[in-house]
Amino acid sequence: MITIPKKVEYSIILIAFLAKNDGKTISLAEVAKKLKLPYRFLGQLAMALKSAGIVESKEGKAGGYYLIKGWNKKTVYDLLEALGENKHMVKCLGKGEECARQAQCEIRNVWNKIENSFVNELKNIKLETI
């Protein structure tokens, strides 16, 4: 089975937590403490989510992170792209990847079909539904 990396799992947890706080600005220290997640790692994830247009930050004493308008239109696939996790299931499906067995490969089409179904499903799951 496919394993979801911690950065994807924790990012979804962070997004869900921010969503439950109705647009309030929440410090990463508070998130880390309440959810028992590593603070430094959350900082890295928050920066990636900010670059992806999912969260915004506010500096200062009452600073922290909040979900930006339109975050709910983003999909799980958008999140994977933002985190650099939109890799192919098998190497031979990647652009520019060659396989010595490609001409006689009997399973490449099967992997391609599975991957296309998986990607389409991820593109249909909005972050707001999580």
Contact 65, 55 (CB under 8 A): yes
Residues 6+ apart with CB under 8 A from 33: none
Q: Which helix (H) or strand (E) holds 44?
A: helix 39-51
Q: Which of 76-80, 88-92, 118-122 has the lowest mean pLDDT?
A: 88-92
Residue 1 has pLDDT above 70, yes or no: no
**Angle of helix 28-35 versus helix 6-19 axis, rounded to 10:** 110
Helices and strands, number each (H, E), in the chain: 5, 2
- When the candidates are 2.40.10.220, 1.10.10.10, 1.20.120.450, 1.25.40.10, the CATH number that belongs to 6-129 is 1.10.10.10
pTM: 0.85
Q: Where is pLDDT greater, at 113 or 86?
A: 113
